[in-house]
Amino acid sequence: MQDKDRNVVANLAAWYQLTGGREGAGTKWLPDLRQWWRRSGRRLELPVDGVSAATRPAGKHTLQFASDDKRIAALKPGDYELVVEAAREVGGRELLQIPFSWPATKTVTQTQSGKTELGDVSLTIH
C-alpha cells in the first residue's frame, strides 16, 4: 500500500518461490517486481514474516486483513492506494493501483481489471 505521496506504508503480501529450485531461490526474480523492489522490497530481510508466501497458481485468490492487523491499524486517516504487481519469468509484468480512503465510513468495493498478467482485482473495505 502507498499513501497519496506514493510512499510505501505497508507490505501486505509477496508471493514467490520460497525454497531453492532448479534455477535457484525465488528471491532471484523479486527485482522483476520493479516498483515494489525499488520502493521497499530490496530493503527487506526475506522472507518477511506474515508477508512472504509461496507463489500461487493462476486462478482466483482471496486475501483478508482485519482492521486490527498491525499494518492496517497503523494507517492514519487519509487517501491510499492498494498496489498489486505481477511478473512472470517468461511473460510480462503488470501493475494495478486501486485508490481508497481510510478509515472507511461505509462498505466500499473497487475493482480494476488487468490486461495481461492480472485479471480482476477487487478491494472491499468495511
More confident residue, 35 or 54: 35
In the predicted structure, residue 68 carries a pLDDT above the cut 80: yes
In the predicted structure, residue 91 carries a pLDDT above the cut 60: yes
Q: What is the pLDDT of residue 20?
A: 65
| Alpha carbon distance 123, 120 (integer Å) | 10
Q: pLDDT tens for residues 93-104?
A: 999 999 999 998
Task: List C-alpha distances in Å: 93 to 33, 41, 90.
Answer: 8, 16, 10
What value does the mean pLDDT of the chain take? 89
In the predicted structure, residue 65 carries a pLDDT above the cut 80: yes
More confident residue, 35 or 88: 35
Looking up cell 462498505, which residue turns up? 107
In this prediction, residues 2-9 reach a mean pLDDT of: 95
CB 33 within 8 A of CB 87: yes
| Alpha carbon distance 102, 126 (integer Å) | 10
Q: Which three cell numbers stand for residue 15?
A: 508471493
Please report, for the chain, the start and end positions of each structural domain, with discontinuous segments joined by +.
2-125
Q: What is the pLDDT of residue 110?
A: 95
Task: List C-alpha distances in Å: 74 to 70, 100, 103.
Answer: 6, 16, 11
Q: What is the pLDDT of residue 23?
A: 58
